[in-house]
Structure 1
Amino acid sequence: MEWTGGATGAVRRHGGAAVRAVRRAWTEPGRERDLTVQAGKAALAACVAWAVAGWWLQAPMAFVAPWVAVVLVESTVYRSLVHGLQQLAAIAVGTVVATVVALVLDSTMVAMAVVLPAVVLLAQWQRLGSQGICAATGALFVLTNGQVTLATSGARIAEAAFGAVVGITVNAVIRPPVYLRDTRAALTDAAREAQEILEAVADGLDGGEWDGHAAGEWHERALRLGRLVDQARSAIGWSRESMRGNHRGRGTAAVCPPGKAYDDALAVLDHVAVHTAGVTRTVQETASHNDKTARPGPRIAGLYAGFLRHTVRAIGLYGQTRFAETGTEQSADGALREAVEDLHRSLDELHRRLPGAVADDPDALATHGALLAQARRLADQLVQD
């Protein structure tokens, strides 16, 4: 009964997630809709390839065309083209080698024993990339499909070429994938998470809370922030690749490839992630310290909390000037300059006040020095930019 209940709960969770994904795909743009469109395009490419090769021309190996077409509706137009060329090369090589060996040896089993090790090794050739295994697939199609002739092998290569043309054309012409929305979302998510972490730390310090458990949670979130920045870096790469050979971006400011502004934002967020982790680590170590004299007093903690809140505001405005939707940059630019000035004044105040607040205690000196150092590092990128 316990196993049945667990299985039922898992089915409900996954079923609910599937229903929500379908609803999002229907109601709003996003990853779910993009995946749905790509699936439909793959099916369309396969149907077109089969209709021409199998139904109209009645080619002897017509199944090869829709098979190649469906796998070449790739995540980007550029990737479809590159993988298409690699796959064609691999299929052609595997087909030619298997045909020649089979005709010479006149034995399928012996030919398979000779050909397969060679084409599997060929699959590791770097120039064929992830499509190298298609050399072995092409060879198997030759050796396991009855009588081997030059005509059937030539037809198989021609059908693969036709399927590749269909797949690449469908992917390039019909709503080619663009990942700029994913890039903006990834950068925005990273910036928002940094703001939320620093805001939580500021609230804790302002309220005089030095709870070890809460500080540990802040630090865990700060460590995960680094992974969000890595996801943003990956999304920028996908965005640039998705615009290569993509007609949707031509002459449209809303879908221009990410440029230096995105790179600058990524560099800043990378520093913010590292130094946010440094701040939370210092707070966690201080909170878990048994000696309460090492902790900053309420006035210094409140001042540091104010600095963190200025940082939160600056990060939010920085995001609006770098990777928000078009049209918000100018309105946020002036506010960002003001926020950076406030951040600088707050940091200068910390420099003036923290040294005088240090007691004659090495632990207190270490805590105050670490907080001041992390504040300086956290502010540097935003202040300089």
Structure 2
Amino acid sequence: MQGIRGAVQYVRRQVGAARTAVRRAWTEPGRERDLVVQALKAALAAWVAWLVAGWWLQAPMAFVAPWVAILLVESTVYRSIAHGLQQLAAIATGTVVATCVALLLNSSITAMALVLPTVVLLGNWRRLGSQGIYAATGALFVLTGGPVTIASSTARVAEAVFGALVGIAVNALIRPPVYLRSTRAALEDAAEEAREILDRTADRLTSDDWDPHGADELHEQALRLYRLVHQARAAVDWGRESLRANPRRRSRMVSPPGQDYDDAVTVLDYVAVHITGVTRLMLEACHDDRKKPRPGPRLTKPYAEFLHTTARAICLYTRTRFAPDGHDERAEHELRETVEDLLGTLEDLRQRLPGAVPADPEALETYGTLLTQARRLADQLVSRDS
């Protein structure tokens, strides 16, 4: 009964997520709409390839053209071109090897036993990348598609070339994908998560109640910030790749992610490292079996102030780097003032540390590490602000 109830809840969540995705695709630009557009483009590429190769030219192996076309409507134009060249090389390799061996042995069954291991090994050649498996596919088309002739094998390669051209052309000429919007959204999501956990951790540091459940939630949120930063880094790389060989790059409205994006990822990475260390200290201090000393108020108060100031600096930092008009003088001025406050708070923390930490080597090591991380984080914000 419990399993059935859990399954029903899972199905309901999936149906709700599907409805949300459909509504977003219909009402607003975003990842969901991009996926729908790419699906429609892939269908269009396959339809055009079949219309020409199958209906008009009536090619003997016309299905190869729409098959290749639909595969090459990739997530970026650059990837369509790169994978298209690799896929054609793999198909041609498998086709040539299978044709030569089958004609030499005059037996498709015997040729298959010899050819398939060979082309599978050839498919692992690094220059073919992820498309190497199509060497075996090309060989199978030859050996299972009836009598083997040079003419039929040439036709297969020609149809693959035509399908690749159609797929690449459709992806490049009809709303070529650009992922700069998702890149900025990923960075803003990570920055908002960082600001929230910095403020929550600061509030918890100065509270009287350090319960294990709350400390565990904070540490889990810090680990989740790691994943968001990783996704933001991947989104920056994805955004740059989406502009390579992309006709929309010529538009003045589209510019590649600059150094500001890389700087933001670096700062957020330092935040993730720092806040994970702080939340781990709180988590260990909440468990008696860990025997970690709880920091006293002389240390937690300035440390909490440091975290609150860092949260404010992160918020202002994203405003200065990703302002709608590209420049926000007020935010830049506030950021400089906040960074100065941050350095002052850090200096106060350093002054209080010797008298606030008990004469325990483990405590000194823990607090010294956190202070070092705090210094590095402050240095990152200062260097990115200057």
Superposition TM-score, scaled by structure 2 size: 0.92
Deviations 1:206-259 (Å, cap 9, x if unpaired)? Answer: 333322321222122212222221111111111111110112222424x31112
Match of 2:319 in 1: 320
Q: How far is 1:345 from its partner? A: 1.7
Q: What is the alpha-carbon distance in structure 2 between the residues aligned to residue 364 and residue 112 of structure 1?
A: 68
Matched, 1:94 2:61: no
Match of 2:115 in 1: 115
Q: Which moved more, 1:64-73 or 1:169-178?
A: 169-178
Matched, 1:224 2:227: no
Deviations 1:112-162 (Å, cap 9, x if unpaired)? Answer: 112112111111111111111111111111111112222211111111100
Change (3 A) 1:104 1:245: same
Task: Output aligned runs, 1:90-239, within 5 Å.
Answer: 90-239=90-239
Match of 2:302 in 1: 303
Q: How far is 1:329 from its partner? A: 4.0
| 3-state DSSP of counterpart to 1:193 | helix
Q: Is the 8 A contact 2:77 2:246 kept in 1?
A: yes
Match of 1:375 in 2: 374
Deviations 1:4-27 (Å, cap 9, x if unpaired)? Answer: 444333322211111111111111
Q: What is the alpha-carbon distance in structure 1 between the residues aligned to residue 292 and residue 137 of structure 2?
A: 71
Matched, 1:264 2:259: no
AA partner of residue 70 (structure 1):
I
Count of aligned positions: 384
Q: Is the 8 A contact 2:95 2:142 kept in 1?
A: yes
What 5-or-longer segments of structure 1 have no aligned partner?
Answer: none
Q: What is the alpha-carbon distance in structure 2 between the residues aligned to residue 358 and residue 93 of structure 1?
A: 69
Q: Is the 8 A contact 2:284 2:291 kept in 1?
A: no
Q: What is the alpha-carbon distance in structure 2 between the residues aligned to residue 74 and residue 326 of structure 1?
A: 31
Change (3 A) 1:141 1:301: same
Q: How far is 1:299 from its partner? A: 5.4
| 3-state DSSP of counterpart to 2:37 | helix
Deviations 1:280-334 (Å, cap 9, x if unpaired)? Answer: 2223333435899954444543332222111100011112222454434434211
Change (3 A) 1:120 1:365: closer
Match of 1:28 in 2: 28
Q: Which moved more, 1:326-335 or 1:61-70?
A: 326-335
Match of 2:345 in 1: 346
Change (3 A) 1:276 1:50: same
Q: Which moved more, 1:14-23 or 1:361-370?
A: 361-370
Q: What is the alpha-carbon distance in structure 2 between the residues aligned to residue 160 and residue 68 of structure 1?
A: 6
Q: What is the alpha-carbon distance in structure 2 between the residues aligned to residue 269 and residue 152 of structure 1?
A: 57
Q: What is the alpha-carbon distance in structure 2 between the residues aligned to residue 351 and residue 33 of structure 1?
A: 51
Change (3 A) 1:380 1:286: farther
Q: Is the 8 A contact 1:282 1:371 kept in 2?
A: no
Q: What is the alpha-carbon distance in structure 2 between the residues aligned to residue 366 and residue 105 of structure 1?
A: 74
The percent identity for this pair of structures is 67
Deviations 1:162-193 (Å, cap 9, x if unpaired)? Answer: 00000000001111111112211221222211
Q: Is the 8 A contact 1:49 1:66 kept in 2?
A: yes
Change (3 A) 1:216 1:374: farther
Matched, 1:281 2:280: yes
Q: Is the 8 A contact 1:208 1:301 kept in 2?
A: no
Q: Which moved more, 1:28-37 or 1:40-49?
A: 28-37
Change (3 A) 1:368 1:159: closer
Q: How far is 1:361 from its partner? A: 6.4
AA partner of residue 282 (structure 2):
V
Q: How far is 1:338 from its partner? A: 1.2
Q: Is the 8 A contact 1:294 1:361 kept in 2?
A: no
Q: What is the alpha-carbon distance in structure 2 between the residues aligned to residue 176 and residue 344 of structure 1?
A: 46
Q: Is the 8 A contact 2:285 2:292 kept in 1?
A: no
Q: Is the 8 A contact 2:282 2:294 kept in 1?
A: no
